[in-house]
Amino acid sequence: MSGRPVAWTIAGTDPSGGAGIQADLKVFHALGVYGGSAITAVIAQNTLGVRAIEPVSPAMLTAQLEALREDLSPRAVKIGMLATAHAVRETARVLAGLDAFVVCDPVLASSGGAAFLDADGRRAMIESLLPRVGLLTPNAVEAGLLTGHEVRGPDDVPAVARTLRDLGARAVLLKGGHLRSTDARDYLDADTRVRWIVSPRRDVTHTHGTGCTLSSAIAAFVAHGKPLETAVLLGKAYVNQGLRLGGGIGRGRGPLAHLGWPADERDLPSVEPAGTPA
């Protein structure tokens, strides 16, 4: 145990275990990382959808974050659903005092349309949180909400990713799962290079928690000391493995499998150049 790196997850719950805090901690455990957690909201959801959302009190969120900070120094922090503008600002305040790589999955709405963060929260994210983020992992809808620019297809992705970096994020992985394409095509804008991370699009229904799983897997690999691009590629391989071997739980969109470090070449994504950064 003493040799395990520590990572935190700051997010909402999922009683069905497929997303949120529960999924993040499964990922950390599967990848040999010790996970600490701070709950931002209690969410009643399952594989069929979201039923109710109740943010924790500001005092309780602060108490959780301070308890973690005084006892568990993280190498990486994964941020998921924050629920309120206060939670965004309080998380940014605590991150300012940490020497840890921050992966932020800006969970703004569920795939079924339930709102997870309002306009005030999005403004707080841009103003106070994005400058603390090492990697931002929005999907096309979330990227559009943060920038005000709709992402209709792959041609729109590079400019929107660059806008997100201009807003403060040091790197952006803009996920292409919501875009119409024959493959699953994510766009990584980091440092002075840009590239497409490409995997075959899988015909599966068990996709509950893919965004949570990807961001927490990347954080786990960074906690193990992997360079960012390597962590992204391994994170995608972990998700592909989970999609290939998951499902069978619940009556709706089932969760991914959590089976440790990806080892099957079928799960490794390919990398394609994306030209010169804007």
Instruction: Note if 211 is an active site residue.
Output: yes
Alpha-carbon distances, residue 40 vs 9, 62, 65 (angstroms): 10, 10, 10
Q: What average pLDDT does this structure show over 243-271?
A: 95
Q: Annotated catalytic, 207?
A: yes
175 is catalytic: yes
Q: Which domain holds residue 106?
A: 6-273
pLDDT of residue 116: 85
The residue to which tokens 């390597």 are assigned: 230
126 touches 85 (CB < 8 A): no
Catalytic-labelled residue, pool 40, 175, 235, 254: 175
Predicted TM-score of the model (pTM): 0.96
- Identify whether 63 is part of a domain: yes
Determine the average pLDDT of the residues in 66-83: 97
Q: Residue 1 falls within a domain, yes or no? A: no
- Please, where are the H alpha helices in 16-84? 20-30, 58-71
Residues 6+ apart with CB under 8 A from 122: 108, 145, 146
Count up the domains in the chain and report the number: 1
Reported as a single tens digit per residue, the pLDDT across 13-68 is: 999 999 999 999 999 999 999 999 999 999 999 999 999 999 999 999 999 999 99
Residue among 210, 235, 236, 254 flagged as catalytic:
210
pLDDT of residue 257: 97
3-state DSSP call for residue 36? strand
How much is the mean pLDDT over the chain? 93
In a domain, 278, yes or no: no
Structure tokens at 189: 């804008």
57 located within any domain: yes
26, part of any domain: yes
Range 160-183 average pLDDT: 90
pLDDT tens-place string over residues 105-154 = 999 876 666 678 888 999 999 999 999 999 999 999 999 999 999 998 88
Out of 20, 209, 235, 247, the active site residue is 209
Task: Please report the pLDDT score of residue 221 as a whole number.
Answer: 98
Annotation says 209 is catalytic: yes
Q: Of residues 144, 211, 235, 254, which has the active-site annotation?
A: 211
Any idea what the CATH number is for the domain that residue 37 is in?
Answer: 3.40.1190.20
Active site (annotated) includes residue 78: no
